Structure 1
Amino acid sequence: MPKFTQTIKHLIIINVIMYFAPQLLNMDLTNLFALHYPKNEHFEVWQYLTHMFMHGSTMHLLFNMYALWAFGSPLEQMWGRNKFLFFYFSAGIGAGLIYTLVNYYQFNGYYEQLIASGVSSESLTSFLKTGNYSDFAHLTNFSRTELTKFFYLYDTPAVGASGAIYGILVAFGLTYPDAKLALIFFPVPIAAKYFIPLIILSDLFFGITSYSIGNIAHFAHIGGAIIGFIIAWYWKKNQFKFR
């Protein structure tokens, strides 16, 4: 079992406090700290950092913290605290930025189509603020599913350390490609060099199709994986420069 390194321990403690403290104090910090769409009234720049410490459920928190400990500890032992923290926050913030870019592209696509179909910008603004389908549906031939997706892009914030965790998974795979990994629902050990790309491809599939289960920010996962790969690959290729 991997050693519980100090940085990993502190990150887990902060995440646990940020999840349970608001519940105990009957507070909702979602509008303040979760990552909102930039045109949403609750959006703030600091949310690219703070959303990494927010989680949607206890299972969401447990899975992320387990992965942080299991795959992050060997990396911190190898890199040291400062490089690990730089990597962790770069992957997490990068995941948020890529997630926003994808949402921006999708949102604008819907917005321009609705404007082109004759819907006024005032009606769209009203719909996005209220989410009232009954008052809006008669203005367009868009299906309820399409309008739901449009409203979801604007209204639903992203939470969780998953983007940073995906960056860690990729770095772990590059560093220990032959390590055997397995999922709870698929308990067959597979080498990391095959296992991790499979997970990322699954996120890509669910992100571009309508088969996703639940409100999962698949493109945040992919964004974290991309940033994690770039940094880990660069460090591995140029490691001789640090000696």
Structure 2
Amino acid sequence: MTKECYYCGFRDPMPFTCKFCGNSYCYNHRLPESHNCPGLLEYKSRARDTGIFYKKDSVVRRKQNHFLNSLNNIISAVKSNYSLMILLIVLISFVLQYIIPGYFSYLALSPYYIFSRPWTLITHMFLHSGPVHLLFNMMFLFFFGPELERRIGGKRFLFVFFISGIIAAIGYSLWSVFILKQYSTAVGASGALFGIFACLAILAPDIEVGLFFFIRMKITYALIFFALLDLLFIGSSGDLVARSAHLSGVVAGLAFGKYLKKKGNYLR
């Protein structure tokens, strides 16, 4: 069915309807700019002044609202969950390692510089040696961090995480200097995560975990397994794992767990 072009009067068998003014136009005048569309001017003015899209752009508006709602949900989840907040910071830090020159060496833990760079007792937890190291630690944090945080609260969780990490760094430094007689650099949140794991094992000894994702066992037995593994290989030559940091973190986590369990102020 042909319609007359509102602008030039030509009867077009396949007319175009302008979404801004609602009139029909021929092929040559189908664009709003081609027929001096008053609706387009109104739309631009309203969008510039209010930021609100044209009322007929329902698909755009729905997608925009969906994106904003999803973004707000993510922000709210991170704000209310310190475990996820730490995870996000670690991921950002991992990217910065490859962007900012000197970032890694300035924040990594080295027993030789521990007194001149005391901040590395904390900052080393937010660095990782590679993608595999990062993946395993973040999976560990993702599965066990929120569980402990739910039981003891956010502030206590942060305390356990950071103090365990600091004690792990000190334990690693002492072992490296006085036992191994070397000053190897250490990075990663493993010590802090072992502290979280040990604390959770004291407060909730009956929860089950998947050892290597396949073997189901109680968290207490899993902790004993990892601790024995670290004790067995702690003096091995060529071992790149900071096992002394793991064991120091375990000791700190056990102490925190015993203290919190004695106080009884946690969710069972």
Is the CA contact 1:56–1:159 (under 8 Å) kept in the aligned structure 2? Answer: yes
Pairwise CA distance, 1:42: 9.8
Residue aligning to 1:70: 143
1:14–1:53 contact (8 Å) kept in structure 2: yes
Q: Deviations over 1:107-149 (max 9, x none)?
A: 5xxxxxxxxxxxxxxxxxxxxxxxxxxxxxxxxxxxxxxxxxx
* SS of equivalent to 1:215: coil
Q: Which runs of 5+ in 2 are unaligned?
A: 1-76
Q: Residues 35 and 43 of structure 1 are in contact (CA less than 8 Å); yes or no, is this contact kept in structure 2?
A: no
Map 1:10-89 → 2, pairs under 5 A: 10-23=85-98, 25=99, 27-38=101-112, 40=113, 44-89=117-162
Instruction: Return closer, same or farther for 1:87/1:28 CA change in 2, 3 Å cut-off.
Output: same
| Letter of the structure 1 residue corresponding to residue 131 of structure 2 | T
Deviations 1:195-228 (A, max 9, x none): 1111011011110344x6x411000000011011
Change beyond 3 A, Cα 1:65–1:41: closer
* Structure 2 CA distance for partners of 1:197 and 1:21, relative to 1, 3 Å: same
Match of 1:119 in 2: none
**TM-aligned CA distance change 1:41 to 1:64, over 3 Å:** closer
Deviation at 1:30, TM superposition (A): 2.5
Contact 2:114-2:121 within 8 A present in 1 as well? no
From 206, 209, 233, give the equivalent of 1:178.
Answer: 206
Residue 55 of structure 1 aligns to a residue whose secondary structure is: coil
Gaps of at least 5 residues in structure 1 are 108-149
Work out the CA distance in 2 between the residues paired with 1:194 and 1:237: 21
Give secondary structure in 2 for the equivalent of 1:208.
coil
Task: Give 1:162 deviation, angstroms.
Answer: 0.2
The residue number in structure 2 matching 1:131 is none
SS in 2 for 1:164: helix
Show the counterpart of 2:53.
none
Aligned CA distance change for structure 1 residues 93 and 103 (closer, same or farther; 3 Å): same
CA distance in structure 2 between the aligned counterparts of 1:195 and 1:102, rounded to whole angstroms: 24
Structure 1 or 2: more helix by fraction: 1
Q: Which deviates more from structure 2 when the two are superposed, residues 220-229 or residues 201-210? A: 201-210
Q: TM-score, normalised by structure 2?
A: 0.65
State the alpha-carbon separation in 1 of the partners of residues 226 and 114 from structure 2: 34
Rg bigger for which structure? 2
1:216 aligns with 2:241: yes
Identity of aligned residues (%): 31
Q: Does 1:167 align with 2:195?
A: yes
Given that 2:152 and 2:265 are in contact with CA atoms closer than 8 Å, whether structure 1 keeps it comes out as: no
Q: 2:220 aligns with which of 193, 196, 200?
A: 193
Does the Cα contact within 8 Å between 1:178 and 1:192 map onto a contact in 2?
A: yes
Q: 1:84-120: per-residue Cα shift (whole Å, max 9, x none)?
A: 111110100010011111112125xxxxxxxxxxxxx
- RCO greater where, 1 or 2, for CA within 8 Å and sep 6 or more? 1
1:8 aligns to 2:83 (yes or no): yes
User: In 2, distance between residues paired with 1:157 and 1:208?
Assistant: 17
- Label 1:47 to 1:26 Cα distance change in 2 as closer, same or farther (>3 A): closer
Deviation string for 1:158-210 (max 9, x for gaps)? 000000000011112112212222233x7221111211111011011110344
Q: Which amino acid aligns with 1:105?
A: F
| 1:44 counterpart SS class | coil
| Partner residue, 1:143 | none
CA shift in 2, pair 1:179/1:207, >3 Å:
same
Of 231, 234, 248, which residue of structure 2 is paired with 1:204?
231
Closer/same/farther in 2, CA of residues 42 and 226 from structure 1, 3 Å limit: closer
Post-superposition shift, 1:41? 9.3
Aligned-pair Cα RMSD in Å: 2.3
